[in-house]
Structure 1
Amino acid sequence: MSITAQLRESVTLPGGGALVNGCAFEVSGERLPRALLQNGHELEVHDLHEVFAGERAPAAVFPLPWPGWDRGVHSVSPDTTFAVFSGQRAVRAVGPGGETLWEYRHACWGPEIGHPHMGDEQEVCRGLEHGSCQVSADGRLVWAHVVTEQEGGNWQEFWVLLDARDGRELGRIPLDSAAAGSRHLRHPDGVHMGLCIGMGQDGILLHWARWDGEVLTGWDLGRRTDRILMDAHPAHPGFLTVEHYGSDLELHALDGTTIAEACLDPDDEEDDPPRWDHDCGFVDARTVIASVTCSDGLGRPRHRLLDGRTLEVRGTVEYPGGPVDSYVRPLGDGTWLTYDDTTGTLSRWAEADACAG
């Protein structure tokens, strides 16, 4: 079944591809998110409403504390008064002028044991490993994935909870991981935080946690999952994942229980074999959007709309003017984004029938 998309708005935005491919979004007060984009040695905060109104200037800009460090996943407070950066050897909060508000030191994500740093905080050690951080919805807490050096030269990764005012550690959860990288997902219920840790060929770990003001409680969904944490929606108590190799999508309760599953039937697909790509999420409470591509990752992706509660495929998105060769980024408010690399056009779409209603 074909489902027609209707263009809501579009804007020419060079470099806007990062908005549909990566960890560029944070949900602010309303569901329509804001975009965090690294531009040279600065982290820019863009309001999507203003972007589509033609405003190119960012709403806030934060200088990077370590210009040579291009990894880590960073976060900005809901009121944009400070940013928190996940560095190679520290988590640092900075103000709009780049002034350091506080710093939480940890061991180096670089892979060489015992390597010196020469006293230069700007030195970037070899290796691609990194952590991530996330400011809570109320701006009072900072969640961070860090690594520490233990006695005997061993290394241990932790998920730490910090006071956003001064960086004081409030609690920590030991992790059984050897990360290549990680990212957080702030659940829109304002209570739970998710952490997805990629370990290369060793798989993926998923964790959830909550802070009640006194006790930090976390739970590990297990190495067996090998699933990528993708999205959550205010109307759902759980979250959405995709299997590492794209074999299926699953909707889960917060304890990891599978509520619904979407698999692909090779007999119904043009590609041999097909897989779900690593871009999916909630268009709104009733609808999930996901991409289907061939197993080698080549060819034009096809966007599918699925029921948001059962993950039953409703149909394939048809775009006016022809196929759209793009990653897809759902916004949770009934719309989704695509980006045309050729023209530099960022477009916002909705289901045509939904627009008519």
Structure 2
Amino acid sequence: MSINARLRGSVRLPGGHALVNGFAFESRGTDSRRALLRNGHELEVYDLDEVFAGERAPGAVFPLPWPGWDHGVHSVSPDGTFAVFSGQRAVRAVGAGGETLWEYRHACWGPEIGHPHSGDEQEVCRGLEHGSCRVSDDGRLVWAHIVTEPEKDHWEERWVVLDALDGRELAALPLDSMAAGSHHLSHPDGVHMGLCIGMGQDGILLYWARWDGTELTGWNLNETMDRILMDVHAGHEGFLTAEHYGADLRLHALDGAVLAERPAEPTEPVEPADDEDPHSWNYFCGFVDAGIVIGSTVDPDEDEENNRHWILDAHTLEIRGTVAYPQGPAGAEVRPLGDGTWLTYDAGTETLNRWTLQPR
């Protein structure tokens, strides 16, 4: 069954593709939906509601502390007064005027054991490996995925909790990972933080943790999982994951228990033949609102005309239908905002589109 989408707004936003196919989107509960977009040597912060209301200028702009470093997942405080950057050798907080507020040094994500540094902080070592950071929703903490100095030719990665005021380490959790990259997901309850670590062909690690002001409690969901942490919603009891290669979507309780599962559906009326590659879920999916999940399947032959966006029940992951857009297919990627709308991006026109379901 087709479900019609209604266009809520369009805006030209260069670099906006990172919102639907990357980690440039930062949500804080139901009231804050922001884009963190790199533009040259600066990080521009946009309030998405204001952008679609006609405000084209970013609400805040922060100079990148290491212009040559284009990896890491960064974060901005709830009030927009400072940004925290995940660098190759440090986590750094930067004020609105570009001043360094504090810096938390760590080992280099560069892959060579014992490789020297010239002393120039702008030096970028070879390798694509990186960590990530996230300012808590109350603005008091910074969670960061970092790497320590190698011992006996072996790195140890850690998940650290820092004081957002001065960068002081409050707690640390050792991780059994060798990351290619990572991202954080803040739970709307304001207590729990999620961390997803990608290790390339070696799979995915997924963690949740909470800091009660005294003790850091963490738990991993990796014994039976190889899954990407995708989304969580304030009005829902579970979080959403996608299997590493897109075989299925799952809804989980916070302890990892599977509440519902949805295998990838074919985009054609008939099942693929035995010698055809299976269809798969695209990685970027999530909650349109507390009752609806949106996700997309990718055609194995990379025929964009056969990509589909699916509307699923948020509690059972049962299919309600496929999305029908007024102008035809809207691309493979989709970014739900949790408020009843979702985003797609037209790379040809650099246009960000915001959609909602057409009332019946």
TM-score, with structure 2 as normaliser: 0.95
Residue pairs, 1:219-238, within 5 angstroms: 219-222=219-222, 224-238=224-238
Which stretch of the first structure deviates more once superposed, 107-116 or 342-351?
Answer: 342-351
Q: Which residue of 2 aligns with 1:292?
A: 297
Out of 336, 341, 349, the residue aligned to residue 347 of structure 2 is 341
Matched, 1:281 2:270: no
Which stretch of the first structure deviates more once superposed, 55-64 or 151-160?
Answer: 151-160
Residue pairs, 1:318-329, within 5 angstroms: 318-329=324-335
Q: Which residue of 1 aligns with 2:143?
A: 143
Q: Which residue of 2 aligns with 1:180?
A: 180
Residue 130 of structure 1 aligns to which amino acid in structure 2?
H
Q: Which residue of 2 aligns with 1:351?
A: 357
Residue 258 of structure 1 aligns to which amino acid in structure 2?
V
Change in CA separation of 1:20 and 1:217 when aligned onto 2, cut-off 3 Å: same
Q: Which residue of 2 aligns with 1:8?
A: 8
Change in CA separation of 1:105 and 1:207 when aligned onto 2, cut-off 3 Å: same
Q: Do 1:204 and 1:223's aligned partners in 2 also have CA atoms closer than 8 Å? A: no
Q: Which residue of 1 aligns with 2:21?
A: 21
Which stretch of the first structure deviates more once superposed, 125-134 or 256-265?
Answer: 256-265
TM-score, with structure 1 as normaliser: 0.95
Change in CA separation of 1:240 and 1:18 when aligned onto 2, cut-off 3 Å: same
Distance in 2, Cα, partners of 1:171 & 1:296: 47
| CA shift for structure 1 position 347 | 1.1
Q: Do 1:32 and 1:333's aligned partners in 2 also have CA atoms closer than 8 Å? A: no
Distance in 1, Cα, partners of 2:330 & 2:31: 25
Change in CA separation of 1:100 and 1:265 when aligned onto 2, cut-off 3 Å: closer
For residue 284 of structure 2, give the secondary structure of its aligned residue in structure 1: strand
| CA shift for structure 1 position 297 | 4.5
Aligned residues: 354
Q: Do 2:233 and 2:289's aligned partners in 1 also have CA atoms closer than 8 Å? A: yes
For residue 278 of structure 1, give the secondary structure of its aligned residue in structure 2: coil
Identical residues among aligned pairs (%): 71
Q: Which residue of 2 aligns with 1:95?
A: 95
For residue 149 of structure 1, give the secondary structure of its aligned residue in structure 2: coil
Give 5+ residue unaligned stretches, structure 1. Answer: none
For residue 152 of structure 1, give the secondary structure of its aligned residue in structure 2: coil
| CA shift for structure 1 position 298 | 4.5
| CA shift for structure 1 position 9 | 1.2
| CA shift for structure 1 position 235 | 1.3
Distance in 1, Cα, partners of 2:124 & 2:204: 26
Residue pairs, 1:1-357, within 5 angstroms: 1-28=1-28, 30-222=30-222, 224-266=224-266, 268=269, 272=276, 273-295=278-300, 297-300=302-305, 301-353=307-359
Distance in 2, Cα, partners of 1:203 & 1:29: 29
Residue 286 of structure 2 aligns to which amino acid in structure 1?
G
Q: Do 1:158 and 1:173's aligned partners in 2 also have CA atoms closer than 8 Å? A: yes
Which stretch of the first structure deviates more once superposed, 68-77 or 222-231?
Answer: 222-231
Q: Do 1:205 and 1:223's aligned partners in 2 also have CA atoms closer than 8 Å? A: no
Give 5+ residue unaligned stretches, structure 2. Answer: none
Q: Do 1:29 and 1:78's aligned partners in 2 also have CA atoms closer than 8 Å? A: no
Change in CA separation of 1:98 and 1:247 when aligned onto 2, cut-off 3 Å: same
Distance in 1, Cα, partners of 2:94 & 2:190: 23
Change in CA separation of 1:126 and 1:198 when aligned onto 2, cut-off 3 Å: same
